[in-house]
Amino acid sequence: MSLTKIRLQEERKLWRKDHPFGFFAKPVKTADGSLDLTTWKAGIPGRDNTLWAEGTYPVTITFPDEYPSKPPKVKFPAGFYHPNVYPSGTICLSILNEEQDWRPAITLKQIVLGIQELLGNPNPDSPAQEPAWRAFAKDKVTYEKKIKEQAKRYVNYSFN
Amino acid sequence: MSKDLYLKKILGEERFSLIRGSTVLMVGAGGIGCELLKDLMLTGYGEIHIVDLDTITLSNLNRQFLFRQKDIDKSKALTVVKSVSKFNYFDSKLVPHHGNIMDTSMFPMSWWSQFDYIYNALDNLEARRYVNRMALYLKIPLMESGTTGYEGQVQPIYPYRSECFECQAKVTPTTYPVCTIRSTPSKPVHSITWAKEFLFQQLYDDSTSSATDAEESRKQLEKETDDSAEIEHMLRETNELNDLKSHIAGGADVFLPELVEKIFVRDIERLLEIESLWKHGGRPVPLDWSQLKPQLDSLLLTSTDLVDETKVQTPLENLYVLWKSGEKLVKRVVSGEPVVFDKDDEDTLDFVVAASNLRSHIFGIEVKSKFDIKQIAGNIIPAIATTNAIISGLSVMESLEYYKAKDSQAAFSNSSTVFVSIKPNKYLMGAGLVEQNSSCASCFKVARGVMELPETSGDLKLGELLEGLRQTYDYEDDHYEISIISGDSRLIYDIDFEDNIPCGLDELGIGIGSTLLIQVDEGDLQGLELYISKGKEFKLPQIQLRELPKTISEPEKSEAEVEKDGEVVFDDGVIEIEEIEEIEEIEDIRETATKLSSQEPPTKKQRL
Amino acid sequence: MTSEELSRDEIALYDRQIRLWGIATQLRLRSARLLLINLGSVGMEAVKNLVLGGVNSIELMDNSTIKSEDYGAQFFLPKDDSKIGELKLPNVVDSIKELNDRVEININTKSFDTVIQGDPSYFKKFDLIIATEIQKPDTFKLNELTRELNLPLYIAGTHGMFGYIITDLIDNINETEKDMGNQPRKANTKLNLNKTIIKVESNESTNKELITIHDSYRPIKEIFSSKLLPEQLNKRQLKRLSPSLPLIFALFELQRVSDINAETLKSHALKACEELGVNPDIITDEYLKLFVDQGFTEFAPTSAILGGCLAQDIIQFLSKKESPINNVLIFDGLRSEMPIYTL
């Protein structure tokens, strides 16, 4: 749909003009050399002074045909350790849920900032995976250890 | 006296001769199409092209009066033209096309440009959007129409003058969260979706998933899951089903008892173990298989015909139907026949009906008749001859203004969007046309035109295209930076992405039938969408791009919210039922402006 | 057919409409025997829809011969000029039968006068009568008879882009299910002068109300001299009343001729305005000219629209589910309006 295309290019422009420090986001390159505006790779840095600080975490953002009526799908790599991330890597965040807080006006910048916030402040009321959620609720020591290990794996993460 | 006496009296000599000389396109030869073609021919249209990709089925015959029992499985477009020849009193030239209207090689831009007027008689959103876009490219007036049951609507579209088909948001089909379908169903539709889209596909349909691409279905499942901590349970279910599938080869006697025990007993017992799911009730009760099995066995010996379309059946009867249809499906799969769910394939339908009813029974959900389940599983929209006849008549009637004026402005002022909606004091509701929606991405924010390119598109480099665009549309003079998107979402150029400048367009997958969207980076200049058509040489259309009105944070208008405001999906598209009242009110208010009294009539207040 | 159930074949054929109006309605249609007097363009449209819908039988009564101008809108005619001048019915009946072999189609080529004067009991074998394109004296004569025999009657006709349906269904009780509104509907509410809600059963759990409506009708003779219009329309509505109502009434006074005298039509229209109690100023020159040109002409889109409404209303009436037209429907193709008045 025209609306989808126009909006996606708008997002790209907005991002180019203004994006938060340490973040990156771009559409993936296709076989014929064009950029697929419906699939983006992005990197989300952990916030300073948190367990996550060391890493920059990769996400894949997929925009549906009905975007911006419907929200994009955002995923970490499968098996990502966080209470609100499903085993598949899908992020459980209200602003990404059509039935909850998604609004068409929400920009890419707001989405990645929202995810950065979620990293350090999990929502205990919407568990998405067993290990991280259990540890977060009952075993903070293990939880912190796992987070730090994971952060090390994503130090200096970049694309290509 | 002559045959066209009445037409000349009604339309006037001049308008009638315009209509006689007119070449029009009718997209769709189904419920509305059959009626519309009759009306167009009897109004004397000179040349009518008919496009449809469908074939005729039995359930069409209650309203598509140009088809007979003997025509079943034949092409609608071809059959309809043969059928109407017996009343082609004005010798209209009829040109049928059996094909998909969105096929750009069958229907290139040059083909579209021959039409003076387009009549839509479609039943799906995608094709409607496509035709709307083509009408916009070529500035051809379009009559949009749709019906569902007793209701229907026609909307005349004058490109860039009145609202286009996309100016108002459309409802998209509801999807159900995976966890509801797989773990916590609460409505018949959940059970039906489970039976059709999960169980049936997993077991029989090789075209969508199989043991080999289990990883793919895992991904699919995870992508869809938004609210469940029991993903592992679901994956286990699927894997077991895949294992079970390999037992199909052993025949129905082995496979079916295993299937029933697994899906209606074991899986349910396991679900019950996840306590968190049942906090708010809705606990399922596994099928009492040990008790039902002997009853089923003795029933199977009697070989009764238990299929009754309209009755709600007992669990035992459903088991029997499951068994009988399961046996046939197993045989078909074993013989190597591809099996996909089709509402008109009785075996597949019976299986889905029985399986969904058994699941509903287990979860304490209302059990439905086969007739009702067919409607949900097959996305069937009720349709009747009368509404289609009325809508088709209105479709021609409302287009006559165009032929009277041959001027979009006058036609715009005198045409109406008309709704059929039966009330005690009226049968129709009309509303004058509304101007383009200034937030419409299809007709307002973007201008459209046709760019010509020789078939050897590789000769043109992206750099040359850019140069041409900058000069033709004054992007350069006004210091605009531009971006180019090809097709639906492939960015081929912007200020930050200049890699492709030396490439030929063919290397970038761009050729005849492709579309390019050009937008400026800064400023409020309209976007430009170009359709690439075959020509002798590279040529860009002359279009004056407009400045868009300054808007403050435009996207704030949520389409999702608009959608929720009482829209009803039509066979054939969308109507804003709630707003009809409003339109009428507005119309009334307009009228009232010069009046003192605005008292409502009693009939209206008490309208049902 | 006497069985009280639909066969599997019938369910398959009528699938898309049964999903809308249910099996009970389909069964009622299957037992309905109809008579259609005069098979013109609007008659053909109505017949097409009713045959497709699956009524029991339709008898067509028409003694006219095929005229060349009939080809402007009558799609059952054979495309063969040599048939002009022949009786119409024998030339169209096969095409009508082809639509649905479950429906019995009979033809009667006697004249209306012969039948009504010769054997009024003939009408007794039908459940409902439809008469199209008939003039006032015949309408009254027929209506007197249908009243006597307690038969529902539909009158319909078109004039180019205009048309009408007039009903005398004598007395009708129908039940319809509606979503609950903001305020519950109440029994003994008058919906209009002839329609009254007599019973309401609410179902809180489904948020539905089962409403029983009583429609009472008056003889068509009274409709033409009705004074009820000003009672049901406010000033504004009276002023913007479509001139087609009095003009259609005026055409009932004229012979079906091809040349209509503007002055004669105007004087009848003004008289109709007076009868109806509406301002004669609504008869504009534009509308007068339209009716002079289009009076008694047939136009396929109009016939499709009006024939669709006519058949739909008959189905509704037979189903006893929805409240039918009570009692004058006007179609104005110029304004895209289709008001229903209670006269």
- The answer on whether B579 is annotated among ligand-binding residues is no
pLDDT score at A1: 65
pLDDT score at B572: 37
Q: Do the chains contact at C323 and B424, CB–CB below 8 Å?
A: yes
Q: B220: left (phi > 0), else alpha (psi -120 to 50), else beta?
A: alpha
Residue A21 burial (CB count, 10 A): 5
pLDDT score at B561: 35
Of the candidate ranges B23-37, B292-306, C225-239, the one whose mean pLDDT is the lowest: B292-306
Q: Is residue A158 part of a domain?
A: no
Q: Is residue A40 part of a domain?
A: yes
A71: closest chain B residue by CA: B560
Which tens digit of pLDDT belongs to each residue from C227-270? 999 988 888 888 889 999 999 999 999 988 778 999 999 999 99
Last residue of a domain, one of C157, C187, C216: C216
Closest-CA distance of chain A to residue B550, Å: 16
Q: Do the chains contact at C72 and B428, CB–CB below 8 Å?
A: no
Exposure on the CB side of residue A61, measured as CA atoms within 13 A: 26
Q: Quick check: B231 contacting A, CB < 8 Å?
A: yes
The domain in which residue C136 lies consists of 8-170+299-341
Q: Quick check: B599 contacting A, CB < 8 Å?
A: no
Q: Is residue C19 part of a domain?
A: yes
pLDDT score at C186: 87
**pLDDT of B430 over the 80 cut:** yes
pLDDT score at A2: 78
pLDDT score at B423: 87
Beta carbons of A79 and A146 less than 8 angstroms apart = no
**pLDDT of B364 over the 90 cut:** yes
Which residues, 6+ apart, have CB-to-CB distance to B220 below 8 Å?
Answer: none
3-state secondary structure of B605: helix
Which tens digit of pLDDT belongs to each residue from C10-21? 999 999 999 999
- The answer on whether B440 is annotated among ligand-binding residues is yes
Total length of chain A: 160
From B149, B390, B602, residue closest to C304, measured CB to CB: B390
pLDDT score at C9: 92
Q: Which of B58, B390, B391, B581 to mutate to test the interface with C (most CBs of C within 10 A)?
A: B390
User: What is the rounded distance in angstroms from the CA atom of residue C14 to the CA atom of residue B60?
Assistant: 9
* Same domain assignment for residues C23 and C144: yes
Local structure of residue B68 (DSSP, 8 states)? -
Contact: chain C with chain B (3+ CB pairs below 8 Å): yes
pLDDT score at B310: 83
Helix B76-84, helix B31-42: angle, nearest 10: 30
Q: Do the chains contact at B491 and A12, CB–CB below 8 Å?
A: yes
* From B50, B135, B179, B252, the catalytic residue: B179
Beta carbons of B517 and A5 less than 8 angstroms apart = yes
Q: Is residue A135 part of a domain?
A: yes
Q: Is residue A159 part of a domain?
A: no
As for how many domains chain A has, the answer is: 1
Handedness of CA B130, B133, B137, B138 (dihedral sign): positive
* Same domain assignment for residues C73 and C209: no
* Same domain assignment for residues C118 and C184: no
Mean pLDDT of all residues belonging to chain C: 94
B150: closest chain C residue by CA: C20
> What are the sequence ranges of the domains in chain B?
5-149+382-405, 178-377, 446-547
**pLDDT of B577 over the 90 cut:** no
**pLDDT of B255 over the 50 cut:** yes
- The DSSP string of A3-68 is HHHHHHHHHHHHHHH---TT-EEEEEE-TTS-EEEEEEEEEEEPPTTSTTTTBEEEEEEE--TTTT
Which two structure tokens, joined as six digits, stand for A24? 């990156």
Instruction: Write out chain B residues lying below 8 Å of A68, CB-based.
Output: 555, 559
Instruction: Write out chain B residues lying below 8 Å of A97, CB-based.
Output: 226
**B173 band by pLDDT with thresholds 50, 70 and 90:** low
What would you report as the CA-atom Rg of chain A, rounded to the nearest whole angstrom? 16
Residue C58 burial (CB count, 10 A): 24
Which residues, 6+ apart, have CB-to-CB distance to B391 below 8 Å?
Answer: B32, B35, B145, B146, B147, B152, B153, B154, B420
Which two structure tokens, joined as six digits, stand for B83? 């059928």
SS3 helix, strand, coil % of chain C, rounded to 5?
45, 20, 35
**B241 band by pLDDT with thresholds 50, 70 and 90:** confident
Which residues, 6+ apart, have CB-to-CB distance to C270 below 8 Å?
Answer: C246, C280, C283
pLDDT score at B174: 67
Give yes or no for a cis peptide into A68 (omega within 30° of 0). yes
**pLDDT of B276 over the 80 cut:** no
pLDDT score at A130: 77
**pLDDT of B594 over the 50 cut:** no
Whose CA is closest to B591, among C284, C231, C235? Answer: C235
Which two structure tokens, joined as six digits, stand for B280? 């708010």
**pLDDT of B558 over the 70 cut:** no
3-state secondary structure of B120: strand
From B223, B489, B556, residue closest to A37, measured CB to CB: B489
Residue C137 burial (CB count, 10 A): 9
| Mean pLDDT of successive 10-residue stretches along chain A, which has 160 residues | 86 91 93 93 93 93 89 91 87 82 92 94 79 86 94 74
Residue B416: beta bridge partners? B432
3-state secondary structure of B23: strand
- State the fold for domain B446-547: 3.10.290
3-state secondary structure of B542: coil
Superfamily of domain B5-149+382-405: NAD(P)-binding Rossmann-like Domain (3.40.50.720)
* Same domain assignment for residues C262 and C206: no
**C190 band by pLDDT with thresholds 50, 70 and 90:** confident
Evaluate whether ipTM surpasses 0.85: yes
Q: Is residue A82 part of a domain?
A: yes
User: What is the rounded distance in angstroms from the CA atom of residue B257 to the CA atom of residue B272?
Assistant: 22
Residue B34 annotated among the catalytic residues of the structure: no
pLDDT score at B607: 31
Highest-scoring range by mean pLDDT, B121-125, B236-240, C160-164, C212-216: C160-164
**B178 band by pLDDT with thresholds 50, 70 and 90:** low
Beta carbons of B148 and B596 less than 8 angstroms apart = no
Q: Do the chains contact at A5 and B517, CB–CB below 8 Å?
A: yes
* Same domain assignment for residues C12 and C155: yes
Handedness of CA A88, A94, A95, A96 (dihedral sign): positive
Which tens digit of pLDDT belongs to each residue from B213-225? 444 444 455 555 4
Instruction: Please provide the CATH number assigned to the domain covering B178-377.
Output: 1.10.10.520
Of the candidate ranges B176-190, B260-274, C244-258, C283-297, the one whose mean pLDDT is the lowest: B176-190
Q: Is residue C3 part of a domain?
A: no
**pLDDT of B188 over the 60 cut:** yes
How many helices (H) does chain B have, and how many strands (E)? 23, 15
Which residues, 6+ apart, have CB-to-CB distance to A140 below 8 Å?
Answer: none
pLDDT score at B608: 32
User: What is the rounded distance in angstroms from the CA atom of residue B492 to the CA atom of residue B489?
Assistant: 9
Q: What is the mean pLDDT of residues C193-210?
A: 88
User: What is the rounded distance in angstroms from the CA atom of residue A137 to the CA atom of residue A143?
Assistant: 9
Which amino acid makes up residue A128? A
* From A25, A42, A92, A96, the catalytic residue: A92
- The DSSP string of C262-322 is HHHHHHHHHHHHHHHT--GGG--HHHHHHHHHHTT---HHHHHHHHHHHHHHHHHHHHTSS
Residue B398 burial (CB count, 10 A): 25
**pLDDT of B603 over the 50 cut:** no
Whose CA is closest to B607, among C335, C223, C178? Answer: C178
* Same domain assignment for residues C318 and C232: no
pLDDT score at B578: 34
Which amino acid makes up residue B202? Q
Query: Residue A50: which CATH number?
Result: 3.10.110.10
Q: Do the chains contact at A90 and B223, CB–CB below 8 Å?
A: yes
pLDDT score at B177: 67
Which tens digit of pLDDT belongs to each residue from C134-159? 999 999 999 999 999 999 999 999 99
Highest-scoring range by mean pLDDT, A111-115, B247-251, B474-478, B504-508: A111-115
Of residues C262 and B240, more confidence is placed in: C262
The domain in which residue A34 lies consists of 2-153
User: What is the rounded distance in angstroms from the CA atom of residue B133 to the CA atom of residue B117?
Assistant: 14
* Same domain assignment for residues C143 and C91: yes
B596: closest chain C residue by CA: C236
**pLDDT of C45 over the 80 cut:** yes
Whose CA is closest to C74, among C315, C289, C318, C303? Answer: C303
* Same domain assignment for residues C161 and C183: no
Reported pTM:
0.85
pLDDT score at B562: 34
Which two structure tokens, joined as six digits, stand for B71? 């025509």
**pLDDT of B227 over the 60 cut:** no
pLDDT score at B213: 43
Query: Residue C328: which CATH number?
Result: 3.40.50.720
**B1 band by pLDDT with thresholds 50, 70 and 90:** low
Which residues, 6+ apart, have CB-to-CB distance to C127 below 8 Å?
Answer: C31, C32, C33, C34, C151, C152, C318
User: What is the rounded distance in angstroms from the CA atom of residue B526 to the CA atom of residue B534?
Assistant: 25
Q: What is the mean pLDDT of residues B157-168?
A: 93
Q: Do the chains contact at B86 and C95, CB–CB below 8 Å?
A: yes
pLDDT score at B459: 77
Exposure on the CB side of residue B126, measured as CA atoms within 13 A: 7
Which two structure tokens, joined as six digits, stand for A25? 């986001």
Of residues C300 and C256, more confidence is placed in: C300
Q: Is residue C285 part of a domain?
A: yes
